[in-house]
Structure 1
Amino acid sequence: MKEKNPWHTPVTIIITVIGVIAIVALVTVAVLQNRPLAQKYKYGIVLDAGSSHTALYIYEWPAEKDNNTGRVEQTHSCKVKGPGISSYASAPSRAGESLRDCMQEAKLRVPGKRHLETPLYLGATAGMRLLNIENSSASDVVFHAVEEALQKSPFSFQGARILSGQEEGAFGWVTVNYLDDRLKQGLETTGALDLGGASTQISFVSDNFDGSESPENAVAFRLYGNDYNLYTHSFLCYGKDQALRMVLAQQTQSGPGTILDPCFHPGYNETKNYSVLYDSPCVSDRKPQGAPATFTHLGKGNFSQCLDVVKSIFNFTYCRYSQCSFNGVFQPLLQGPFGAFSAYYFVMNFLNLTDTSIPLDTVRKKLTSYCSTPWDQIKQQHPDVKVKYLAEYCFSGTYILTLLTEGYNFTSESYPNIKFIKKIKGSDAGWTLGYMLNLTNMIPAEAPDSPPLPHAGYVSIVTVIAILLFVLFILSLRPLWPRCSKQPQII
């Protein structure tokens, strides 16, 4: 009679099936438990409503925060077509409509499941500050139109408001230092120099400033577990566009029909309207009586004379503090490196003067040469630049140099401490990232995704399956047991 194969018995088959199931279960548990966890991200949107234009920035950060401060990174920016919202005072509904295209981009960039929880903020700066001073009711109507448009978005709209100059300067300082990882690592901080169209800000930490001499210029921050006492001041009307108005107002006080402007290139010739020039709170009280409707603006292209005209809009004689910058404003001694951004960067980059290792005397010589270049030649060299902007670079470069050296007291020794910057690690330099970073302290952190099983449970299951497989392995050797027992013994 044929001997039955012990490997084909029902018990052996059952053991084999159980073993395969156990192995599959062990592999499945291990894969699920150790798979990479998807990172949760939060999003925030900030609209920077400046004097000359509006820009939208999208930020994201991991839902789990470091020391209660989210690690914020810029993922997208969108420049709104048209001028700043303050320019729509006579047609406020267009202020809201102008934001539509960028808001549509934001809807596509932020994951749909995050729309409802993504905060949306609009901060208006010096342009709206001036409009609010000039006509507060017009300012309110513009804001109402903007808010109405933003409330229709799928995001969590948190309101639109005018930032104070102090806030604008302080959040710009946060941005520069955050992007350089100086806050997280507790390193020496970098000062911030911001130049817009209607205002300019200077912010830095000084060992000689405790806020007692000028409390209105003191701001305290707590970020990444560290405390910072910051000096900051914003000069309204000293952005480059309003500064140009003040310089032109200085030259048209007598209401002439023609001015020969040393801050514009030789051969420059434009007819300009007196009412447009003086249509700003920065100069409106200086409009000459009995002036003609227009004046002819001619360029002379003389850097040294331009310096004198630019200096005339600063007051360096009055100071009731131990030390001042200009216009009687307290400023402690400059300390540490500085990052200069916004119009500082764009103007100096155009003039090829962003390298601050170039001595100040050489910078002055380069500006002297540039300003004296005939207007026709300048237009031929830069055919792609809008004529309005191109015409103003001589003035803007001279103004920046005067503001830094005469206004803020940078010297030949400290000027190299300035770094002109546009972006840092992919994020635009400006107040918006600092604003978003500060706001994340008020947004609750989410718990990170966790593995399906707690660690102890995972270890227990793996151990039980491993023991089961071992037992099954021993049982699977059962057909060999009788043979081993029947081996002849040697006596």
Structure 2
Amino acid sequence: MDEQGEVKVRNPWHKPLCIVLTAFIIGGIITMVAVSVVQNKPLPQKYKYGIVLDAGSSHTSVFIYEWPAEKENNTGMVQQKHTCNVKGKGISSYYANPDGAGKSLHECMLDAKQRIPAQRYSETPVYLGATAGMRLLKMEDETASEKVLASVEHSLKTYPFSYQGARIISGQEEGAFGWITVNYLSEKLNKPTGTLGALDLGGASTQITFVPQQQIESEDNSIDFRLYGNDYHLYTHSFLCYGKDQALKLSMGKKLESTPAADKTDPIELRDPCFNPGYNYTKTVQSVFDTPCMNEVKMPNGNFSHVGVGDWSQCQQSIRKVFDISHCEYSKCSFNGVFQPSIDGTFGAFSAFFFVMDFLNLTSDSLASAKQTLATHCSTPWKKLVENHPKIKQKYLSEYCFSGTYILTLLEDGYNFTSDNWKDIQFIKKIGDSDAGWTLGYMLNLTNMIPAEAPDTPLMPYGGYVTLMLLFTVFIVVLLILAYMHFRQSTRKGQKDII
């Protein structure tokens, strides 16, 4: 009996098999966590690149875009890496020297080579889109426009990138791609919320694009996209000759046409309310009429004295004369008989819209306040304006009164914005680190980087996944500890009962 009383039950955890199993469980859990963390940790990004040249009427800009190589179809992933402004005027200015158009791109293309890794050269697409300046040149001299495009094509093919073409894009395309850009960068294309309208103003044309609430009555102003599983029915129109530079020539041309010289031998004196008082320069009539936009205006001969008067109210009255609102075959029109549905939603106004309004500090003003500020600016003596802005070229500085007044008149009288919805216009230069404009939308469209259907997304973000895995691991470990403690307590109780 004494020998039986000394018999004890061995703790089953001391058995080799239990020890091995426990080690495997703990090792498995540690391995699971380690593998999950290593497998899902952010890896060093590998980028792809794209280059788009915006060959505008007044200058050319080279945009370099980059995106993570493994996520190129996710919205908001493509970002602007760098911009290089080509020295000199736009490529259309080389109509008499086509070879100069291609050569002018050299410095910025070398800059692109330095900013893009060499191993990515062969897969980096290069696109050149020419806008209103080249559209006007094609209207005036199609052969010259073809030679200019051939020159830039020859030049771009000499660089180690994947050349994809150089062409003149239509005004409708320019407006539509600008709309894609601002909505892509604002990440509105894959969300149920409303989209942004797009207002673009260049030197030779202006574009308006938005999703209307009413039927589009003119097929020429309609374009459809299916992006990220959503269908978009856009209204868009581009007004050639109504960019700020060409509009200035239109306005001055009409004034010159109705301003006779005091004497046949004397030069014409053009008293211009859109230029500051004290501004007085002699200019050639040819400098105003050297554009196809002036074909319907009778050109006088010789030179003229351009004298600033600085009267904002008279300036706006003179600008209104370049808009024809006398006829409309549709239920509603903007100007020149062009159909336009009622303005709806928020708009992003970029390019010259932003640059002019930003200089005049009008990007956040009400319409009434903007008019008052412009009236003050236009009446500022030219000499004082030059003293206040010594670093700005006088040609550009002299045109701000006209440009600011033209923008207000275009938006209010042309596009039918009012004091009530003026706050819906956002004057923007960039969205994030990328310029607002048509170039990004153009590249996204040509590379099919915005899928027609919504891309698949992970069940949860990386951080959430790792957190969930760690919580489950801790939960399992706690359960094992509790089970061990309970089993050990039960074993000790059993031993006492046996003893």
Q: Normalised by the shorter chain, which TM-score bucket?
A: 0.7 to 0.9
Correspondence for 1:286 among 287, 293, 297 = 297
Question: In 1, Cα distance between the equivalents of 2:233 and 2:41?
Answer: 45
Q: Does 1:303 align with 2:312?
A: yes
Aligned to 1:236: 240
Correspondence for 2:167 among 152, 155, 161 = 161
**Helix, strand or coil for the counterpart of 1:282?**
helix
Deviations 1:441-486 (A, max 9, x none): 1799xxxxxxxxxxxxxxxxxxxxxxxxxxxxxxxxxxxxxxxxxx
Where does 1:71-470 land on structure 2 (aligned, <5 Å)? Answer: 71-209=77-215, 211=216, 213-254=217-258, 256=261, 257-288=268-299, 291-355=300-364, 358-441=365-448
Question: In 1, Cα distance between the equivalents of 2:397 and 2:40?
Answer: 59
Question: In 2, Cα distance between the equivalents of 1:310 and 1:33?
Answer: 64
Contact 2:128 2:166 in 1 (8 A): yes
Deviates more, 1:322-331 or 1:249-258: 249-258
1:61 Cα deviation after fit:
1.7
Aligned to 2:47: 41
Q: Does 1:59 align with 2:65?
A: yes
RMSD: 2.1
**Helix, strand or coil for the counterpart of 2:113?**
helix
Aligned to 2:265: none
Deviations 1:60-91 (A, max 9, x none): 12233466878311111111110000001111
Distance 1:32 1:401, change over 3 A: closer
Q: Which runs of 5+ in 2 are unaligned?
A: 1-30, 262-267, 452-499
Distance 1:218 1:145, change over 3 A: same
**Helix, strand or coil for the counterpart of 2:257?**
coil
**Helix, strand or coil for the counterpart of 2:292?**
coil
Letter in 2 for 1:241: D
Contact 1:69 1:441 in 2 (8 A): no
**Helix, strand or coil for the counterpart of 2:67?**
strand
Letter in 2 for 1:409: N
How many pairs are equivalent?
413
Letter in 2 for 1:59: Y
Question: In 1, Cα distance between the equivalents of 2:41 and 2:289?
Answer: 66
Deviates more, 1:406-415 or 1:185-194: 185-194
Deviations 1:113-161 (A, max 9, x none): 1100111000000000000000000000000110000000100001100
Question: In 2, Cα distance between the equivalents of 1:238 and 1:126?
Answer: 10
Moved over 4 A (4+): 29-36, 65-70
Distance 1:71 1:297, change over 3 A: same
Aligned to 1:454: none
Distance 1:73 1:364, change over 3 A: same
Question: In 1, Cα distance between the equivalents of 2:450 and 2:232?
Answer: 22
1:35 Cα deviation after fit:
6.8
1:221 Cα deviation after fit:
1.1
1:266 Cα deviation after fit:
0.6
Question: In 2, Cα distance between the equivalents of 1:418 and 1:342?
Answer: 14
Contact 1:67 1:225 in 2 (8 A): no
Distance 1:234 1:186, change over 3 A: same
**Helix, strand or coil for the counterpart of 2:70?**
coil
Deviations 1:382-439 (A, max 9, x none): 1111000000000001000000000000001011100100011010010001111222
Question: In 2, Cα distance between the equivalents of 1:217 and 1:418?
Answer: 21
Distance 1:41 1:250, change over 3 A: same
Question: In 2, Cα distance between the equivalents of 1:34 and 1:325?
Answer: 54
Contact 1:262 1:301 in 2 (8 A): yes
Contact 1:184 1:224 in 2 (8 A): yes
Letter in 1 for 2:277: P
**Helix, strand or coil for the counterpart of 1:123?**
strand
Contact 2:57 2:90 in 1 (8 A): yes
